[in-house]
Structure 1
Amino acid sequence: MSVVALKGVLLIAASPQVVAVAEPPRVPAPVVAPALEEGEELAAQQAGDITVTARRREENVQQVPIAVSVVSGATLDAQGTYNISRLTQLTPTLQFYSQNPRNTFINIRGIGAPFGLTNDGFEQGVGIYIDDVYYNRIASATLDFVDVERVETLRGPQGTLYGKNTTAGAINITTRAPSFEFEGKAEVTAGNLDFKQGKVSVSGPLSETLAARLSATVTDRRGTVYNTTTDQYVQSQDSVGVRGSLLWKVKPDLDITVSGDWNLQDPICCAFSYGSYGSTQRAANRQFPALVGYFPGYAVPSTNPYDRLTDVDAELRARNEHGGLSARLVWELDEANTITSISAWRYWDWTPANDRDYTGLPIYTKVNNPTKQNQYTQEFRFNHQGSGFDLTLGLFGFHQKIRTSGIQETGPAASRWLLNPTSALSNNPAVLNNVVAINDIRLDNTSLAVFGKLNWEVTDRFTVSPGIRVNYDRKDGLYDSVVTGTASDGTRQIVSAVPGSPYYNDSWTAQQRGIQASQYFEPRFSAWNLSYDLNLRYELAEDINLYATYSRAFKTGGINLNGVPANANGAPILAAATIEPEQVDHFEGGIKTQFWDRRVTFNVTGFWTDIKDFQANVSNGQFGTVRGYLANAEKVRSRGFEADFSVRPSARFNAYASGAFTDAEYVTFCDAPPPPELSGGMTLPATGPCSFSGMPSAPGTPGGNSPPFVDASGQDLPGVSKWAFSWGAEANAEGNLFGESGQFYFGYDGSYRSDWSSNPTPISSSQSSPMPR
């Protein structure tokens, strides 16, 4: 799959005040600290300065010895980039995948989160921070941007300063602070597919020491896929968000900001149109063409994926509500010392409804796992500015409760679709009709950390920046799935996987157990880890900086909360209930340059990341059964280079281009899940963690032999494009509209990503017929 996105826009901006500042450039955008006055801001933009807080202090991005991309709020507005998913068009090494808000993954340079499996028991490797508040679940950070000052994307491990588990990077979003001068802004956007979006923001003083800001956004768009069963479009957008903040200047050296937000996304989602059919190793009478043939008169609405048609018959819903409160205190003890405290509570309420079979047949009538989360964080930071050095010390605490109460229910078409056609029971709809799984899934997640970062100016040109973080994590989980079905005598019974249990040998219950059985276990994990890094910066000449970084980072271990394989006695195998922490060794070096009076910026970065015990999605038979769950791949590597270029010859024109090459692969992963074309046949017996007996059939052989796992060593990680580019330009001119001064501007932006695989294990020619090990 390759992706190309192009965009052109002609907009008119009007304001009741004369503003001589042109729209900032794209990437990198000249963002300045909010405290600058208008004249200082203009001078900074013309000088090409970009002030960021990537290292918990304000500094020029060209002097920060890490790879960081910065996009201003004005650029986001001009481009129509209104959420994180669209940020990928500006940041080539940022990948965003979302089937729905809960099944959302963000990766940087190919790493960050396992691809293709939802599980609350593991952590994301890309941290999301909004006004210094850590958002643990990506689903709770899918809000539309409004009143954003800037977005900083930090690439590479950031564990010594940012929360926890930021082994791939961090996205640091800063919103606009309340203003002591009245200001307001309103924006309305319309587009194809009935796209409508409105944003409004107002800020001003309430007294000499109090200022407030209130903003709101509404987005609505018709769906992109038409459901012939319900006569409606699905995959729509329907969101609303409100954010408010109050700034209290207690005294000249003490500020307290209290913020709150509420966001609701309630689209008709999610379904897929028919793409194509690919043969697997299942018996011919269990392949898609045969299965559809068992239901006379049924056919998919279209075999052309570009018709964008579906016929799902179960209820669809993807209601995603989240919000929270935070309090930020900044106390300047004196000119050299500052204390910062950030306290926050956030909640997430996920209410889905799915059609798991994605057809118009009543196979799965309900697959709903609503989730509720409460998250509490507290961070203290102490900043000291000394002579030739500055120091940041901090404490971080995090606690999260997740409760999922789900249901899965099969319908009258399930027997014919899911059971072996050679079984006489496959013709009896009652066997699998109304098999119900009630799931109770719980997670209590606690993390504590102490951290520090030193920036030591050894000479006027050479700066050494070591950092350290000690982290403690504890996870307590519960997985309790109670499955009930109708036995052959017509009574409702628990479908148990334990031999000797009541109705274990009943013919109907045995068939139901092959689809899903009850399971209960309580996984636990706790561990300490130590992260550290060393950044070096050398000023080769004015506006030319060399830098190098080494980082040792960890992503905490996890627990499986989607069920685990069972042994011969039907008991869950607890060895598969936990996953080991990831250990990351990261090397990076680059050069940051500016010339032509800082009108031109050109940066180049090279990186190499090794990960031991990479947390991956597996589906193998090494425990005696085949089931998908999280486990550890022995070693993964990501390497490549990135380049950013921007030019601003005048305040009336700017252009940019960014590119990245990413080579991310499994170095050692001998028990990876088989790709679809090698799955579904007679599973060969596993003889060890990475060995099995027998010879697998050629890929896509109906009724063939399937390996319990494959050796994916040397293969690409899923979801990673080797090449990615973004580019654009903008021209503007002063003008008047309805008697008000403003500017006309025209912008063009494009992006490209090369092919990538969506399978956890892509198949290669060298593995067309994997040999036993």
Structure 2
Amino acid sequence: AGDRSDRNTLIIDISGARLALPQGETFRAENPATGITSVTASQLDTNTIRVRVTGETQIPSASVTASPSGLVVSVTPQSELNIIVTAQKSEESIQNVPASITAVTGRQVQDSGITSSQDIPRLVPNFSILETGNRSRSSFNIRGLGNIPSINTSGGSSIGFYVDDVPYSDWFSFQSSLTDIERIEVLRGPQGTLYGQNTQGGVVNIVTRAPTNLWEVRGSTSYGSPGLRENQLTVKGPVDENVFFSLSGLYSERDGFVRNTLLDELADYRQSLALRGQLRWLSPQNDWDVRLGINYQESNDGGFTFVPFDDGDRREVAQDFLGKNHSAGNDQSLRVFYNGSGIRFTSITARREFRNSPSSGDGDSTPLAIVNANVDVNTLKWSQEFRLQSPENAGRLQWLVGAYYEYKETGVDVNVTFGPDAATFGFPPASSQKC
């Protein structure tokens, strides 16, 4: 056998062998292992098999051994994949984090096609999200601990949720679009020492890709059923020698699965828009790193839709009121990092606003005009965090001290409207009541 290389591809010719495939067919495996893009095997001639192994960044290594069932080709990258995380407020290898943690790389997010925080459990064990008719009324759980999707909880949750160090401390605003992601870290178990309140169950830490002096333009378009359309675009690059920017956007819409036969309209349609921008200044000595971030998200969905379990067709409802769910959130952050020879300093100033209004639906879920409900939620939060910690080259003694301040205003309005058929059930017709 002999081998030769072509860029990141290793080619192995195995003489005296034949493929157990119909004549002319080729074996191919996409992304069979970490660091390997593809493996193909074909019959080069009547007595020779050619195996091509392509690595992601470099030429992989391979060995051929004989087994009772045939030849076995073992393929490995020449270097191990080392994932760097910031779960403990410092960059370190995931292997050195003394906690139960799962890190999902940006490449994994892209390859799996997930575009929302609702999809993270597809890649993370012991983490689940149960949607209760509204993207802003979802139950997040890590090892069984999470939030209760009720307006009476005032947004409290036992899970911490962060996007680029900005805390989303209200569970009803956990919904986040995933664009231009560097990695997603999910820590299980109490994290109160480093993350403070509302982290008894764990922490979800989303990190986006920082702009650099390299120009980059990436985009994607997806289509699916029923009526799914999704578009993403990211542009980033230098503004000046030490100033860089990034802009990313995502727009998606879905026709829905459930039709309201009474009004002849789809009841669970969805539409969402997400925009994210970042401006970064890096000092010539690389000791100061200042990042200004802006994030905006908006969604327009159908109203609350409930279908009885014993219904013959769970894709049809008959309700006199369609309802609507509109939510919008925006946040601005200024993050300052100093990495000196003897100390590191971090300052995170953030403002976050979220509104879920209107959020309405048919309260009786029947064709009768009995009662409709509308729940409006809005919150405004300011936060400031300071951290001082040991330098990156610190030995066994590593330390961290910090302070955190948060100011939050939350408002919840519930309005119930009774229709003409309410009198049959003892309620005052054509009236409204605030709760």
TM-score range, shorter chain: 0.7 to 0.9
- The AA in structure 1 aligned to 2:341 is E
- Among residues 311, 327, 331, which one is paired with 2:334 in the alignment? 327
Q: Which residue identity is paired with 2:323?
A: L
Q: Percent identity?
A: 27
**Offset from partner CA, 1:455-480 (integer Å, 9 cap, x none):** xxxxxxxxxxxxxxxxxxxxxxxxxx
2: CA distance, partners of 1:387 / 1:402: 44
Query: Displacement of 1:120 after TM fit?
Result: 4.1
**Residue 187 of structure 2 is aligned to residue 184 of structure 1:** no
- Tell me if 1:432 matches 2:428: yes
> Which residue of the partner structure matches residue 321 of structure 2?
314
Distance 1:150 1:45 in 2: 23
The superposition leaves residues 714-741 of structure 1 with CA deviations (integer Å, 9 ceiling, x where unpaired) of xxxxxxxxxxxxxxxxxxxxxxxxxxxx
Partner of 1:270: 304
How much does 1:335 deviate?
2.0
Q: In 1, distance between residues paired with 2:77 and 2:415?
A: 56
Q: CA deviation at 1:113?
A: 2.1
Q: CA deviation at 1:404?
A: 2.7
Relative to structure 1, is the Cα distance of residues 254 and 191 closer, same or farther in structure 2, using a 3 angstrom cutoff?
same
1:322–1:349 contact (8 Å) kept in structure 2: yes
Counterparts of 1:359 and 1:127 in 2: how far apart (Å)? 38
Aligned to 2:168: 135
Aligned partner (choices 361, 368, 387) of residue 361 of structure 1: 368
Aligned equivalent of 1:743: none
**236, 255, 276: which one aligns with 2:269:** 236
Question: Who is 1:411 aligned against?
Answer: 419
Give, in whole Å, the separation in 2 of the partners of 1:127 and 1:305: 38
> 1:71 maps to what in 2?
104
Which of 128, 131, 154 is equivalent to 1:121?
A: 154
* Cα pair distance change 1:194/1:45, threshold 3 Å: farther
Whether 2:350 is the aligned partner of 1:344: answer yes
Shift of 1:394: 0.8
Distance 1:262 1:223, change over 3 A: same
State the distance in 1 between where 2:32 and 2:162 align: 23
> Residue in 2 aligned with 1:159?
192
Structure 1 distance, partners of 2:77, 2:167, is 30
- Describe the superposition over 1:17-67 as per-residue Cα deviations: whole angstroms up to 9, x where unpaired: x998x96968xxxxxxxxxxx78xxx9993132211111111111221110
Counterpart-to-counterpart distance in 2, 1:121 and 1:415: 33
Deviation at 1:236, TM superposition (A): 1.9
Secondary structure of the residue aligned to 1:164 is coil
Instruction: Give the counterpart letter for 1:110 in structure 2.
Output: G
Q: Distance in 1 between matches of 2:364 and 2:92?
A: 52
Mapped partners of 1:217, 1:256: distance in 2: 25
Q: Give the distance between the partners of 2:31 and 2:330, measured in 1 at CA.
A: 31
Name the counterpart of 1:682: none
CA contact (8 A) 1:271 1:312 kept: no
Distance 2:232 2:174 in 1: 18
Distance in 2, matches of 1:274 and 1:404, equals 28
- Mapped contact 2:155–2:171 kept (Cα < 8 A): no
Change (3 A) 1:387 1:275: closer
1:107 aligns with 2:141: yes
Partner of 1:148: 181
Is the aligned partner of 1:214 residue 2:251?
Answer: no
2:227/2:256 contact within 8 Å kept: no
Which residue of the partner structure matches residue 51 of structure 1?
84
Pick 1 or 2: higher relative contact order, CA cutoff 8 A, min separation 6: 1
Report the equivalent of 1:525: none
The separation in 1 between residues aligned to 2:162 and 2:168, in whole angstroms, is 6
Q: Which residue of 1 aligns with 2:128?
A: 95
Deviation at 1:379, TM superposition (A): 0.6
Matched-pair contact (CA < 8 Å) for 1:226–1:233: yes
Secondary structure of 2:152's match?
Answer: coil
State the one-letter code of the partner of 1:387.
Answer: G
Instruction: Give the Cα separation in 2 of the matches to 1:71 and 1:84.
Output: 12
The answer to whether the 8 Å contact 2:334/2:349 transfers is: yes
Instruction: Provide, for residues 620-668 of structure 1, a one-character-per-residue CA deviation record: whole Å limited to 9, x for no partner.
Output: xxxxxxxxxxxxxxxxxxxxxxxxxxxxxxxxxxxxxxxxxxxxxxxxx
Match of 2:236 in 1: 203
SS of 2:423's equivalent? Answer: helix
Can you list the C-alpha shifts for 1:91-143, whole angstroms capped at 9, x where unaligned? 221111222133222111111223x5332435100110011110012332312
Q: Alignment partner for residue 254 of structure 1, among 262, 283, 288?
A: 288
Structure 2 SS opposite 1:361? coil
Query: Equivalents in 2 of 1:192, 1:82: separation in Å?
Result: 16
Query: Aligned equivalents of 1:196 and 1:343: distance in 2?
Result: 35
Unaligned runs of 5+ in 2: 1-6, 10-29, 35-56, 59-75
Q: Is the 8 A contact 1:55 1:161 kept in 2?
A: yes
After TM superposition, give the deviation of residue 144 of structure 1 in Å: 1.7
What is the CA–CA distance in structure 1 between the aligned matches of 2:316 and 2:106, rounded to whole Å? 37
In 1, Cα distance between equivalents of 2:416 and 2:78: 56
Whole-Å separation in 1 of the counterparts to 2:164 and 2:301: 27
TM-score, normalised by the number of residues in structure 1: 0.45
| Root mean square deviation, CA, Å | 2.2
Question: What does residue 714 of structure 1 align with?
Answer: none
Q: Is the 8 A contact 1:275 1:305 kept in 2?
A: no
Structure 1 pair 392–201 and aligned structure 2 pair: CA distance change class (3 A): same
- Residues 1:390 and 2:398 aligned together: yes
Shift of 1:161: 0.6
How has the CA–CA distance of structure 1 residues 93 and 389 changed in structure 2, closer, same or farther, with 3 Å as cutoff?
same
Instruction: Give the deviation of 1:242 after TM superposition.
Output: 0.6
1:182 Cα offset (Å): 0.5
CA pair 271-45 structure 1, distance change in 2 beyond 3 A: farther
Q: Which residue identity does 1:80 align to in structure 2?
A: G
Check conservation: 1:51, 1:61, Cα contact below 8 A.
yes
The answer to whether the 8 Å contact 2:382/2:407 transfers is yes
